[in-house]
Structure 1
């Protein structure tokens, strides 16, 4: 999901229901649009259980043969295709409804017969406020802001009606189930009881008639005016995971409800989809257009085909325009890139085309080749912004601007959202992690890789407008610094590896983006930029067209870096835990090392300890030294100085560098890399220490408070004044930007 850098905007600053035994609601086929429910036998589900409703970060790496094993490129297909969809759909533009006929094929990868399968009916999240989505939204948005906050009115709700489901000639029954213990009124997961079980290794074919009513755009999908983003619109089969895959110890159905703060997870397969729309509508979709569109009776039918993907979305809109481009890189086919946009946002289309092709270059070069032949970018119209910032394979939506000025915050936002949504094509698309249970593998890692790309572009957030640039006032901030500001480092509520829905608040879900990016930034600083990049290339090589877990990421990082200590520390503290870092310089004390007063034993006799005489001796030494060193700096003299620095750790341990600077301009670095709560370091040198600073190279972004990292011998308000001035400047620039919108 895309995000705005203003936290609380789209996809950035984003309850878990108690776990009760799965409730079952049954109906006979074909159902009425609003079916009556009755109890269904629980025994039908006993053989293969659901994945746990508390599933989250996996700790055990997947087996080498998981998901068919590593893809070498020598196989007949890019992925081990488990599913196939042939769909013929027609859009009723006046009603914003899609009628569809779907032939679903599914391969039983398990070692046992399967008597029931499960379908996601995502659009039912928007049919009423009794869904899991809306139930959770009420609670989570009370404790943090999020996208998807629109209120639906009469004529604006959305749903999927199953008209019939057949296995051959047999009409099948279905029931609504609640794998996560959601409300009985949720209908986003349906169990289909088969007439004939699918044997181990066998293939199931289902013929499904359905009607999808799009909601008014509320989140990720829907309509506004003559614009229709048709996403999560067809019945989609759940994932049957096997032992050794993402922590599973036996076959299980991974088929979570549509939660407010979660996205999607599905098997790789092939799609062959025909779309019929009014003749004056523009269409874009996942995959490649086959031949010329066919026109008849004022309607046009488009056929799109794409293999080795796990979802399909499309757009149909009146009055849209297209900007075409192309790209090709090492190991990739020639890619046709198309930006579809409404006239009011024509000014941003060239920028989004360039950001897309630049992303193809960067992600292909740093992770692995882009394997598809198309890339379609959709700019939603004004008033449909909630349809923006959303990703599907080879297809994503971004944000529109009437004008994109180079070097302004508008330029940054246009580029960032476009790059972010493209990046999902790798972390959500090709790596296909489970966004329900481990959202950090998609949103978090993608956010980190986006910021790496922007850093390489030397593209900071410029809080500037044309007027500010004209007067020479162009404040800016680096992307990782902004991520740190929104990462909730002082008191994190949830581990990064926690699932998407079982979180303290939507704002805590938002830290999946920001705190993951910050944690990966700090891990990069520990391991080295090149080492980290090699590790991610290997992660992509091992796991593209499969479904890695957090444990698989950790194992790859350790294998490539050889540094289990640093990798495990970051994962234990942040991915699996809620650690907080706040190291500080507690004190800086200096004292001259003067001849000691008092008595001493010399030649068998004790002196009288004449303090007055000693004082005269010290004074004379000072006077003589000043005459010999007329240009000496303050803090230098005839006697050495003992400088003592005390550091304190208010949180989890992290390797620190302490830099102590001295009056003569020199400095000394000391490593503090142990588990002590506090440590004291002493330095005896010709000149006294004037300052002490932890993390002088600013590598540890996870530190909750950077202002207490340093201390000077003399009071110095410049740092506080600088921070105050910077914040004031950024706010002034931001408010000036708002005025221009």
Structure 2
């Protein structure tokens, strides 16, 4: 789902997050590069240490057969469904859980996660009303009519806010399946006034609605190896944890409505006019979007509200959800797309009212096609037969269909911001087909595994759309303002969806930026892209958890990234690395080396000064015979020396003289004459370690670059130094010149030798004698055997 930045600051932080456990918090080293074994869950037969599914991995499945009736006059949706649930787990289940998401629209059935409130500075007539105590039922939410087994026998159930538990008379044993039925209805909310992901939008000028029917039927919760039942309440923010299955859905709507939905329509020939069906067939292979329902046909339909009915039938395989849209206002276009990686033939389609025609007709379907092709390159080949974009004034995603914004002014013009925003949201929501519709993470628990991974791949796709596309989430510099915030306004990425204040930056931008830093700056594109594809392939149509992602990225790349996951995902420290000082030195080429004289005494016996308990017990044990006692040949000089049987003067002093350096020859002096050394001292002011990326600018205008990996901080996480030797004068040093590490303070990233006369010191340079090295363990000193005159 794509959120507008202006709405991100209204949420209250509750304060539960994953902990960044450190074993050595008082030290200047050993924390940021600590391995994550103390944080990540223990690998098992379901999820391996490599990040891949284990040999005993399992997941349950649910198949749905649903009939829906849209009452446009009452704005009511009536449904009946048959669910077949397969227990593939190793556990016997005495009850099952379902989601009733529409209850969040109810004043009395909702999950009730309130926010703090204060007196307004101003109000309008819609907002100003007396507080209902107790709350009055607003008439929204799911009304359950019947819950039975396959034979029609009533099943006992309990509704807890947005969750429903069905108690099974006989239980559901491992390997078994159960079929049951639910009839229900609910009043469709005006989503433009009440908010939410689904509902209707009314167009007062022509008296028509656009319906986006989402989270609309009782849906199975996930039962998993890592969580058990994921039955956390739906509060409106944290999205969904859902099981895969097959769907057959029939939708009875007014005859002049056009429907788009998850999967393939099985009766287009019956519900479309012959001309429209012919255009649909043409669109399947067309390289340009073909209007299946034209602008003129949509305008005519707006004026004639049919009282007749039609039933549209859709089927979808291996999907985790089903959503649909209906309106007589829709223009509908489509074009064919071939996915190169698997040769899959897909029809990309768009549905939109005339108010969006000027933008959607030109861009939407082509953006859909571009998205599924580009995501297929970076993740897995798009496996479905359909991909659809619906203009609905908001952004939300479902398998094979998504809802986006993008309307023109009444005269057909639009701003550049509206155009780019529309293209970006189409890419983002269509991209959700991959994360989490196929690579099926638990959105309610870990928003970043859905929104963050998708926003990152959206960024890659936007960059392929237009090299000048003004992407705001992905480039490192765009996250700086968020990273600058006080710590009490931040929480780790590894936080539950409901407990985040700055939801957009935390769940979308920061994880997307982190992945881009990994790709461009830390790992490199080749290693990153391989690992990212490996993760996508391993967990397609499965339920990955954060550890599965972290472990796979390391397993497939050979890079130890625990330091990065710790800092970027589990912590709130920003990047702020400073250049503290640059020290300049030139070589003293005329220096005369001095011999190094060392005074020493002959080594004393090397036996331990204190006899430990093991030695004493071994000596007292009559069953132990020591090898040197049995074999007299092993009893050398030092055997006797250690036992006081050899006497030497240990107080006598000896002198050793080392002369392994000599003065430089003329040719060497000429070689080193123009070299200058620069020691650059850095400090880690922000706390988050990063590679040191430097750009050197010289007095002659030339430039050089160097990058040291983040591991340079491993022995001192607060201060490090780097020394460079150049044969030309350095004018300036720039840290992170491309702003690729999200450094929050670039004012301390530059050193300038403005006058060109920086204060310098000298360092002596000598020539190494080739025969000066001592090898093989010999020290050149007098040893005890020599002092005793023994061999």
TM-score, normalization: structure 1? 0.71
Residues 660-705 of structure 1, C-alpha deviation per residue, up to 9 Å, x if partnerless?
434344566473722421234455666653212222344323x222
The equivalent position to 2:200 in structure 1, one of 204, 214, 223, is 223
- Report the Cα distance in structure 1 between the residues aligned to 2:329 and 2:413, rounded to whole angstroms: 25
Q: Which residue of 2 aligns with 1:581?
A: 575
Name the residue aligned to 1:163: 145
Q: Matched residues in 2 for 1:375 and 1:648: separation?
A: 50
Is residue 496 from structure 1 mapped to residue 532 from structure 2 by the alignment?
no
> Is 1:694 matched with 2:769?
no
CA distance in 2, matches of 1:124, 1:569: 42
Counterpart pick for 2:683 among 599, 624, 648: 648
1:338, distance to aligned residue in structure 2 (A): 1.7
In structure 2, C-alpha distance between the alignment counterparts of 1:321 and 1:269, rounded to whole Å: 31
* Equivalent residue for 1:658, pick from 694, 699, 708: 694
Corresponding residue for 1:272?
A: 248
Q: Is the 8 A contact 2:477 2:739 kept in 1?
A: no
Work out whether 1:120 is the aligned partner of 2:99.
Answer: yes
CA separation of 1:644 and 1:17: change in aligned 2, threshold 3 A: closer
Secondary structure, aligned partner of 1:495: coil
Which of 709, 713, 721 is the aligned partner of 1:674?
Answer: 713
1:255 deviates by: 1.6
Change (3 A) 1:311 1:13: farther
Q: CA RMSD in A?
A: 3.8
Structure 1 residue 277 displacement after superposition: 0.8
Deviations 1:8-36 (A, max 9, x none): 25x899756699xxxxxxxxxxxxxxxxx
Distance change >3 Å, CA 269–CA 130, structure 1 → 2: closer
CA distance in 1, matches of 2:444, 2:454: 16
Distance in 2 between the 1:12 and 1:328 partners? 42
Work out which of the residue numbers 546, 553, 571 in structure 2 matches 1:550.
546
Does residue 241 (structure 1) correspond to residue 278 (structure 2)? The answer is: no
Partner of 1:523: 518
* Contact 1:118–1:190 (Cα < 8 Å) also in 2: yes
Moved more, 204-213 or 672-681: 672-681
Q: Per-residue displacement from partner, 1:148-205 (whole Å, max 9, x unpaired)?
A: x99999997631111111123321222233xxxxxxxxx1011112223122211111
Aligned residue number for residue 263 of structure 1: 239
1:680 to 1:526, Cα distance in 2 relative to 1, 3 A: closer
Change (3 A) 1:683 1:483: closer
In 1, the alpha carbon distance for the partners of 2:739 and 2:53 equals 39
Deviation at 1:59, TM superposition (A): 3.9
Show CA shifts across 1:481-505 (max 9, x none). Answer: 57425643555622212221122x1
Q: Give per-residue Cα distances to partners, 1:44-77, cap 9 Å, x unaligned.
A: xxxxxxxxxxxxx9644564579xx9899xxxxx
Q: Decide whether the 8 Å contact of 2:65 with 2:81 is kept in 1.
A: yes
**What SS class does the counterpart of residue 400 from structure 1 fall into?**
coil
Q: 1:369 — aligned with what? A: 381
Q: CA deviation at 1:81?
A: 6.8
Is 1:319 matched up with 2:302? no
* 3-state SS of paired residue (1:229): strand
Alignment of structure 1 residues 498-647 onto 2, 5 Å = 498-503=495-500, 505=501, 507-508=502-503, 510-524=505-519, 525-564=521-560, 567-588=561-582, 590=584, 643-647=678-682
Between the aligned partners of 1:151 and 1:273, the Cα distance in structure 2 is: 42
Instruction: State the Cα distance separating 1:648 from its structure 2 match.
Output: 1.2
Structure 2 residue corresponding to 1:438, chosen from 442, 446, 449:
446
Contact 2:254/2:307 (<8 A) preserved? no
Correspondence 1:326-365 to 2 at 5 A:
326-330=336-340, 331-349=342-360, 350-365=362-377
Q: Distance in 1 between matches of 2:70 and 2:138?
A: 16
Does the 8 Å contact 1:15/1:139 carry over to 2? yes
User: For residue 453 of structure 1, what is the aligned residue in structure 2?
Assistant: 461
Residues 486 and 511 of structure 1 are in contact (CA less than 8 Å); yes or no, is this contact kept in structure 2?
A: no
Determine the C-alpha separation between the residues in 2 that align with 1:71 and 1:654: 31
Partner SS state of residue 520, structure 1 = helix
- Paired residues in the alignment total 583
Distance 1:508 1:229, change over 3 A: closer
Q: 1:629-660 deviations in whole A, cap 9, x for unaligned? A: xxxxxxxxx99766443221111222213344
Distance 1:370 1:531 in 2: 22
Matches within 5 A, 1:52-67: 59-60=41-42, 63=45
Aligned-partner SS, 2:375: helix
> What residue ranges of structure 1 are gaps of 5+ in the alignment?
20-56, 73-78, 143-148, 178-186, 463-475, 602-637, 717-741
SS of the counterpart of 2:741? Answer: coil
Counterpart CA distance in 2 for 1:657 and 1:517 is 21
